[in-house]
Amino acid sequence: VLEPKAGFYEKPIATLDFASLYPSIMMAYNLCYCSLLTPEDVRKLNLPPECVNKTPSGETFVKSSLQKGILPEILEELLAARRRAKGDLKEAKDPLERAVLDGRQLALKISANSVYGFTGATIGQLPCLEISSSVTSYGRQMIEHTKKLVEEKFTVVGGYEHDAQVIYGDTDSVMVQFGVPSVEEAMNLGRQAADFISGTFIKPIKLEFEKVYYPYLLISKKRYAGLYWTNPVKYDKMDTKGIETVRRDNCLLVKNLVSECLNKILIERDIPGAVQFVKSTIADLLMNRMDLSLLVITKGLTKTGDDYEVKAAHVELAERMRKRDAATAPNVGDRVPYVIIKAAKGAKAYEKSEDPIYVLENNIPIDPQYYLENQISKPLLRIFEPILKNASKELLQGNHMRSISISTPANSGIMKFAKKQLTCIGCKALISNSDHTLCSHCKGREAELYCKSVTTVAELEELFGRLWTQCQECQGSLHQDVLCTSRDCPIFYRRKKAQKDMAEANVQLNRWNL
């Protein structure tokens, strides 16, 4: 892997890929168990240099002209079969046939690539580290060779508009900035570079031009995002690698936030808009306006609590839930959803984990600082540091961080002994229990406030109805009650929250003695 030149590139980045790199190396240099020579073999046989391949890692293999290896022959057959499958795939029209052929070519690709892994697996059936280390050393040498040739040939001195710069190299691909402003020009130069460099390698090693990224956000090794272009008219998709958009042990808020930021940066080209979106999301989190379903973290319970060497949030929660109700507590093999709640200063994360349903039912406050520091800040800074001069100051300091709202738990601490007094439906001022609905200042606004209460109930009923119907559709019937209790599903928590809010709104509506 070449050291990445991190940054946000607003000129097209051409990507040159090696076709089936590791299998091609094994075929080109005849790397096999039967072609490997030990130092003793080299001394005994005294073979001339033109009959052997000395690998960059220091191993020696005989060339195929002297003895062809078994592994290269197997790889030739696998890759030939894959080419046939891909040819049939191009001609196929039937969707089912296309799916079968696509699965076949993918299986053949994986089989060919796994031959290298088979030789490098030290606890496998037939390991041979001399082969696997030779393959990776050749791959590294070829990436460096490609970088050298690109930066030597595509220069202003050589007749091109700009000096080409290789900004990153990753296993079997090289990212090149040719300095041209259009995708079409970058594609033409990418094809030229691929053809030129392929001619310097032993067959069947081949460098291909595959795609252009424009714009391109390079964060670090194996972490990048960009718009993926295979034709100059319209981008194909937004491509990401190593960025927190898919991991299940991150809460959904992280995925949504990162995805929306990348959408604004790469597609809309609105960096100030992305910054503002981050600030408003953080403000919503601190002000307790965030949907609980977005804050649920899920982790697998792989063994019993005593078998874990260190205390983990989901494990400790499972033990607490078992003490509350063993029948509904998660078991080994289940995924445990949890949220992090407010607790005493200095409390560990495993002491602050709680069941999301329990949190909803008891109005327990969430710990927004935990989510800010442990879930949101690192992924955001990774994205914005190559773009903004001082990303931490810009995103995590300012007016949006100054307001914080904390809800009061319903049944914990001193609240167990508190007697709830009625508040005015209009202004929330305390009123005597005999007044029932409004304070003296709000009397005279009965019609307005009653309509507002009715509207609130109607809106919550509509929301609950939509969520209920969505769950029915997922369940497969619109005529049965929803039985689903999937705690991995964000809709489940939204439905529970809407149900609770609707019940509370109905209580307020019933206070009107009309």
Whether pTM > 0.75 for this model: the answer is: yes
Rg (alpha carbons) of the chain, rounded to whole number: 31
Residue 171 confidence (pLDDT): 83
Tokens 């200042």 correspond to what residue? Answer: 441
Ordered by start, the domain boundaries in the chain are 7-239, 244-418, 421-510
Examine the pLDDT at 331 and tell me if it is beyond 80: yes
For residues 27 and 72, the answer to whether their CB atoms sit within 8 Å is yes
- For residue 168, what are the CA distances in angstroms to 25, 80, 143, 199, 352? 21, 31, 10, 22, 42
User: Is the per-residue pLDDT at 304 higher than 80?
Assistant: no
The CATH homologous superfamily for domain 244-418 is B family DNA polymerase, thumb domain (1.10.132.60)
Cα separation, 178 vs 184, whole angstroms: 12
> How would residue 291 be classed by pLDDT, with cut points 50, 70 and 90?
confident
Q: Which of 207-221, 428-442, 449-463 has the lowest mean pLDDT?
A: 428-442
Contact predicate 149/197, CB 8 Å: yes
Which of the listed CATH numbers 3.40.50.300, 3.90.1600.10, 3.40.50.720, 3.90.870.10 matches domain 7-239?
Answer: 3.90.1600.10
Residues 306-311, mean pLDDT to the nearest whole number: 77
Task: Give strand ranges (E) for 292-347.
Answer: 297-300, 335-340
- Report the SS3 class of residue 225: strand
d(Cα 286, Cα 407) in Å, to the nearest integer?
Answer: 11
* Count of C-beta atoms within a 10 Å radius of residue 267: 12
Query: How confident is the model at residue 313, as a pLDDT?
Result: 87
Calculate the dihedral angle through the C-alpha atoms of 280, 281, 286, 292, rounding to the nearest 10 degrees. Answer: 150
Contact 172/197 with Cβ under 8 angstroms? no
Which residues share a beta bridge with 422?
none
Cβ neighbours of residue 294 closer than 8 Å, sequence gap 6 or more: 251, 252, 253, 256, 490
| CA distances from residue 129 to 23, 55, 236 in whole angstroms, order as listed | 16, 13, 40
Q: Which residue has the higher pLDDT, 344 or 191?
A: 191
Q: Tally the C-alpha atoms within 13 A of residue 212's C-alpha that lie toward its C-beta.
A: 29
Q: What is the 3-state secondary structure (H, E, C) of 501-512?
A: HHHHHHHHHHCC
Phi, psi of 19 (to 5 degrees): -75, 120
Paired strand residues for 217: 8, 225
> What is the pLDDT, as a whole number, of residue 394?
87
**DSSP string over 233-269:** SS--EEEEESSSSS-TTS-HHHHHHHHHHHIIIIIS-
d(CA 246, CA 224): 14
Please name which of 186, 220, 200, 192 lies closest in space to residue 146, comparing C-alpha atoms: 200
Q: CA dihedral in degrees (461, 463, 464, 467; nearest 10)?
A: 160
Determine if the peptide bond prior to 204 is cis (ω within 30°).
yes
Q: Which of 32-36, 419-423, 443-447 has the lowest mean pLDDT?
A: 419-423
Contact 228, 235 (CB under 8 A): yes
Give the pLDDT band of residue 418 (cuts 50, 70, 90): low
What gap in Å lies between CA 335 and CA 322, rounded to an integer?
15
Q: Report whether pLDDT(421) > 80.
A: no
Report residue 311's pLDDT band, with 50, 70 and 90 as the boundaries: confident
User: pLDDT band at 107, cuts 50/70/90?
Assistant: very high
Given this model, what pLDDT does residue 381 score? 92
Tokens in use for 107? 């299986």
SS3 helix, strand, coil % of the chain, rounded to 5?
50, 15, 40
DSSP strand E in 362-482: where? none
Cα–Cα distance for residue pair 221/376, rounded to 1 Å: 20
pLDDT confidence bin for 48, thresholds 50/70/90:
confident
pLDDT at position 415, please?
53
Mean pLDDT along residues 63-85? 93
Model pLDDT, residue 364: 87
φ/ψ of residue 427, rounded to 5: -110, 0
Percent of the chain topping pLDDT 70: 95
Residue 300 and residue 336 in contact, taking contact as beta carbons nearer than 8 Å: yes
**Average pLDDT rounded to a whole number, residues 363-386:** 90
